[in-house]
């Protein structure tokens, strides 16, 4: 990873939690869900043991013995027994329902406190556009957030929109998922209490490359987050030594789909490339963002992500070298 040391963000970006387990939450909505899940699993385990216990007892105790051909007593039923095994499940369901109701309210009725961060996520086939309207930052696929502490809460309220089909935003350690639906604005609330990088991915089937629509969330100490945001706001690097690659970029169809600050490129179909090299991956997590991978990606994105909507541009080797050299300056 080239970009991380340059920005001195090493600690949080490198501390990757690779297993997105819902039982290892670091944010209140996910913690509430885990708490509720323990209650439900406890009740379920009790029912499973009781019912399968009776089943195994019947199998053992009431199996037919060889040579015994007489019919057992014919019992047709019992109203008392029926009502009792109706009422007990009703009570259990009532308990589960009340616990569910309360947690729905706690999670969904949460209002943003002052100092909350607002981020807009736009799902695309097959990548995530990420906008921080208050900070003037636009990036893709890798969400950066400040850590929240008891004295200094920094929850983040996400606005979820789609540019094409339905996607679903899911970082199990931070919160449950929320669908990203075209013509509809959904909201989701996270409040990470630990620094580090947490992973997730699109959870609603959205076409060919649904599998490679990955998400990374890097949670920083507050000052590191401010530094990251400042770096993202900075104008794109402009290095005279890569003018040739820059010219190729501006004279090919790249500019129709990608935006790059300070150039003619203002497309919105693909990710913003202004600070491309500040990201750890390319193709929404399809590959690590190294110069070699980037070069191979430009040559033919379909080797990493078959079916991706970015075409191979049919450039010659020298053009690809120049273009790659230009892109790797975009820190």
Partner 1 sequence: MTVLDEGIARPREDEARAGAWSKVHDWAVTVDHKKLGVMYVVSALGFFLIAGLEASLMRIQLAFPNNDFLPPTTFNRLFTMHGTTMVFLVGMPMFFGMANYLTPLMIGARDLAFPRLNSFGFWLFLFGGLLLYFSFLGGDGLYGAGTAPDVGWFAYSPLTGRAFSRGNSTDYWILGILVSGLGSTATALNIATTIVTMRCPGMTYLKMPLFVWLMLVNCILTLVILTPLTAAQVMLLFDRFLGAHFFDTQAGGSAVLWQHFFWFFGHPEVYVLILPAFAIANEVVPVFSRKPLFGYPFMVGATVMIGFISLSVWAHHMFVVGLSPAANTFFAASTMAIAVPTGIKIFNWLGTMWGGKIRFRMPMLWCTAFVFSFVIAGLTGVMLAVVPWDFQLSDSYFVVAHFHFVLIGGLLFNIFAAIYYWYPKVTGRMLSERLGRLHFWTFATGFYVTFLTMHFPGLLGMPRRIYTYDAGRGWDELNLISSLGVAVQAVGLLFFVWNLLWSLRNGEHAGDDPWDAWTLEWATTSPPPEYNFEQIPVVHSRRPLWDLKHPQDPDWKYE
Nearest to partner 1 of 86, 223 (CB atom): 86
Q: Is 186 in the site for partner 1 (CB under 8 A)?
A: yes
Q: Which of 127, 128, 170, 249 binds partner 1 (CB under 8 A)?
A: 170
Site size toward partner 1, by CB under 8 A: 91
Q: Out of 67, 73, 114, 235, which residue is the one contacting partner 1 (CB under 8 A)?
A: 73
Closest contact distance (angstroms) between CB of 201 and partner 1 is 6
Which one among 28, 192, 196, 200 touches partner 1, defined by CB under 8 A? 200
Among 131-139, 142-150, 172-180, 260-268, the segment contacting partner 1 (CB under 8 A): 172-180
| Residues in Cβ contact with 186 at an 8 Å cutoff, skipping those fewer than 6 apart | 159, 160, 161, 178, 179, 180
CB of 305 to partner 1, least distance (A): 9
Which is closer to partner 1, CB of 221 or CB of 304?
Answer: 304
Distance in Å, CB of 261 to partner 1, minimum: 28
Positions 232 through 291 that interact with partner 1 (CB under 8 A): 285
For residue 257, is it left (φ>0), alpha (ψ between -120 and 50) or beta?
alpha
Query: DSSP characters for 89-117?
Result: HHHHHHHHHHHHHHHHHHHHTPPPPTT-E
Q: Can you name the residues that pair with 219 across neighbouring β-strands?
A: 145, 196
What CA–CA distance (Å, rounded) separates 115 from 272? 27
- By CB under 8 A, the residues from 6 to 35 that bind partner 1 are 18-23, 29-30, 32-33
Question: What radius of gyration, in Å, describes the C-alpha atoms of the chain?
Answer: 27
Binding to partner 1, residues 85-104 (CB under 8 A) = 85-86, 89-90, 93, 96-97, 99-101, 103-104
- Residue 265, classified by CB atoms within 10 Å of its CB into exposed (0-12), middle (13-18) or buried (19+), is buried
CB of residue 281 to partner 1, shortest distance in Å: 11
Distance CA 120, CA 128 (A): 10
């Amino acid at each position: 990873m080239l970009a991380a040391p340059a920005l001195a963000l090493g600690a949080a970006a490198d501390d990757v939690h690779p297993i997105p387990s819902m039982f290892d939450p670091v944010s209140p909505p996910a913690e509430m869900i885990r708490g509720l899940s323990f209650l439900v699993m406890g009740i379920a385990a009790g029912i499973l043991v009781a019912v399968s216990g009776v089943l195994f007892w019947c199998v053992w105790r009431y199996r037919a013995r060889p040579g015994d051909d007489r019919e057992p007593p014919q019992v047709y039923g019992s109203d008392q027994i029926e009502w009792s095994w109706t009422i007990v499940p009703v009570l259990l369901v009532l308990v589960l329902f009340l616990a569910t109701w309360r947690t729905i309210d706690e999670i969904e009725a949460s209002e943003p406190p002052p100092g909350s961060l607002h981020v807009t996520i736009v799902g695309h086939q097959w990548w995530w556009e990420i906008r921080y309207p208050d900070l003037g930052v636009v990036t893709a696929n890798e969400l950066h957030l400040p850590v929240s502490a008891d004295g200094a809460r920094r929850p983040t309220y996400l606005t979820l929109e789609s540019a094409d089909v339905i996607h679903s935003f899911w970082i199990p350690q931070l919160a449950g998922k929320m669908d990203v639906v075209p013509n509809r604005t959904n909201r989701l609330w996270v409040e990470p209490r630990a620094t580090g990088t947490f992973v997730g991915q699109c959870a609603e089937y959205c076409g060919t490359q649904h599998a490679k629509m990955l998400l990374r969330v890097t949670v920083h100490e507050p000052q590191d987050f401010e530094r990251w945001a400042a770096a993202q706001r900075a104008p794109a690097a402009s290095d005279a030594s890569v003018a040739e690659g820059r010219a190729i970029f501006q004279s090919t169809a790249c500019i129709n789909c990608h935006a790059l600050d300070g150039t003619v490129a203002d497309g919105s179909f693909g990710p913003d490339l202004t600070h491309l090299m500040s990201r750890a991956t390319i193709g929404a997590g399809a590959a690590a963002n190294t110069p070699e991978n980037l070069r191979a990606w430009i040559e033919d994105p379909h080797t990493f992500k078959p079916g991706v909507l970015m075409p191979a541009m049919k450039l010659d080797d020298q053009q690809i070298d120049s273009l790659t050299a230009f892109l790797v300056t975009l820190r």
